[in-house]
Amino acid sequence: MTLLNDAPMAAPAHALTDEQAALVDMVRDFARHELEPHAIEWDRTKHFPVDVIRGAGELGFGGIYVSEDVGGAGLTRADAALIFEELAKGDVTIAAYISIHNMVAWMIDTFGDGAQRERWVPRLASMEHLGSYCLTEPDAGSDAAALSTRAVRDGDEYVLTGVKQFISGAGSTDVYIVMARTGEPGPAGITAFIVPSDAAGLSFGANEVKMGWNAQPTRAVILDGVRVPAADRLGGEGQGFTMAMKALNGGRLNIAACSLGGAQWALDRAVQHIRTRRAFGKPLSEQQSLVFTIADMETELQAARLLLRSAAQSIDTGHPDVAAHCAMAKRFATDVAFTAANAALQLHGGYGYLAEYGIEKVVRDLRVHQILEGTNEIMKLIIGRSVLEKAS
């Protein structure tokens, strides 16, 4: 018996098309000029560079896989995987925020009606408006379907009450997609709403003090009787959880790509360092144990890259096992990338521990990728259950 569906995963993209190579070139230029020189400072001062992010929006970063008719770039998930990997080499945290923003823009583009798409998506695609995705709650993380924020119908409006936790960009962004309960317990009772930042009754918690991802704010979003017109309900009642999970498939690949980019940057730095740093009369790169470390880093990052690109093609081609493929790519890439970044820190010795070298920042930033967009334990549940379902 083969793993999961009998149809093999789509063949991984071993070679880039001319357009993809040009996309990567552009993102590399952008990341090197606009992100990398500032990344350490933004981390230290907890600065969310909205002006730079808006500049990225003008180039198409706000709607990478959003339809062109509402201002998106209309690219594939395979393209997006390349773009996020390259972007993260400049700054993991900013690349990861842009991933979350793209989930929001994509959800309204994909599940919104004509009026919603026209009203919300163009300004998200251009990043004139920034988006936040609000699923997690203080008491509902991995068990997201147990969320308790309520949306009660009142005439032509819904009244939303509850607290969303760990919301990226919150307080600095303009458009919030909020998953709230309109019906029965469990996933089938959840509905998605589009809430603008100026809605009465919407407020934000303090900017969380955290291990990494310092260049984007993380706050609680507090909904205290927020009245949302029924016209801003995304999809039908009870469809919210399914839409949120579909958005997360893409989000997981983007985060996997961000991990890969951060780790590749750290690996490149480590290679430079051990080639020039001398100890015991020769360059560190002549110490066999360090050569083996580099080999493991390279091998695992390449394996993650193939799994990632393959999963991206699974979304692009509508493969039936797409959720498991995305979970595998996310679990594997975020784990091996964290390990590789940590190894890069070790290869740098004491310098790796200094903020100035940027390596410890990447380690801190990548650590949370094993937790968010579904913990890696949840990824294993998705993968394992998919396999077992096939056998039953």
Partner 1 sequence: MRIIVLIKHVPDTWEERVLDPATGRLDRSASERVVDEITERALEAALALKDSDKSIEVVALTMGPGESTGAIKKALSMGADSGIHLVDDALAGADAMTTAATIAAALRDAGADLIIAGNESTDGRGGMLPAMLAEHLGLPALTFISDLVVEGGRVRGERATETATSVVSAALPAVVSITEGMPEPRFPSFKGIMGAKKKPVASHSLADLGLAADATPRAASVVLSCEPRPGRTGAEPIVDDGSAGQRLADYLAQQRLV
Q: Contact region for partner 1 (CB under 8 A) — 15-23, 146-154, 168-176, 201-209?
A: 15-23
Q: Which is nearer to partner 1, 65 or 213 (CB)?
A: 65
Cα gap 366→348, rounded to integer Å: 17
| DSSP sequence for 222-290 | EEEEEEEEGGGEESSTT-HHHHHHHHHHHHHHHHHHHHHHHHHHHHHHHHHHHHH-EETTEEGGGSHHH
Residue 101 CB, shortest distance to partner 1, in Å, is: 15
CB of 56 to partner 1, least distance (A): 9
For CA atoms 144, 147, 153, 157, the dihedral sign is negative
Query: Is residue 4 close enough to count as binding partner 1 by CB under 8 A?
Result: no
Closest distance to partner 1 from the beta carbon of 88 (Å): 17
Using DSSP's 3-state secondary structure scheme, residue 165 falls into strand
Catalytic annotation, pick one of 34, 86, 300, 373: 373
Residue among 7, 22, 206, 295 that touches partner 1 (CB under 8 A): 22
Q: Which CB atom, from 102 or from 334, has the smaller least distance to partner 1?
A: 102
Least Å distance, CB 264 to partner 1, is: 19
- Please, which residue, 105 or 383, has the CB nearer to partner 1? 105
Name which position in 8, 29, 41, 278 contacts partner 1 (CB under 8 A).
Answer: 29
Query: Taking the complex as a whole, how short is the minimal distance between the CB of residue 383 and partner 1, in angstroms?
Result: 32
Give residues with Cβ within 8 angstroms of 85, minimum separation 6. 257, 258, 260, 261, 264, 305, 308
The answer to the question of residue 64 lying near partner 1 (CB under 8 A) is yes
Smallest gap from Cβ 29 to partner 1, in A, equals 6
- Closer CB to partner 1, 22 or 295, in the complex: 22
The binding track of 69-108 with respect to partner 1, each residue x by CB under 8 A or -, is: ----xxx---------------------------------
Q: Given the structure tokens 């081609």, which residue do they identify?
A: 317
The answer to whether residues 257 and 334 touch, using CB atoms and an 8 Å cutoff, is no
* Cα separation, 117 vs 109, whole angstroms: 5
Q: Does position 201 bind partner 1 by CB under 8 A?
A: no
The three-state secondary structure class of 358 is: coil
Give the helix, strand, coil percentages of the chain, each rounded to 5. Answer: 60, 15, 25
Q: Does 268 bind partner 1 (CB under 8 A)?
A: no
Asked about 373 being catalytic, the answer comes back as: yes
Contact set for partner 1, span 30-59 (CB under 8 A) = 30, 58-59
At closest approach, how far in Å is the CB of 184 from partner 1?
42
**Total Cβ atoms within 10 A of residue 246:** 18
Number of residues that bind partner 1 (CB under 8 A): 16
Q: Does 291 bind partner 1 (CB under 8 A)?
A: no
Give the Cα-Cα-Cα angle 340, 248, 326 (nearest 5 degrees).
55
Nearer to partner 1, 122 or 141 (CB): 122
Residue 143 near partner 1 by CB under 8 A? no
| CA atoms of 368 and 96, how far apart (whole Å) | 11
Query: Can residue 23 be called a binding residue for partner 1 (CB under 8 A)?
Result: yes
Query: 156 exposed, middle or buried (CB, 10 Å; 0-12, 13-18, 19+)?
Result: exposed
Query: Which C-beta is closer to partner 1: that of 59 or that of 303?
Result: 59
CB 159 within 8 A of CB 187: no
Task: Collect all residues with Cβ–Cβ distance below 8 Å to 384 and sequence separation of at least 6.
Answer: none
Find the DSSP H helices in 112-186: 114-125
Residues carrying an active site annotation: 373
- Site residues (vs partner 1, CB under 8 A): 18-19, 22-23, 26, 29-30, 58-61, 64, 68, 73-75
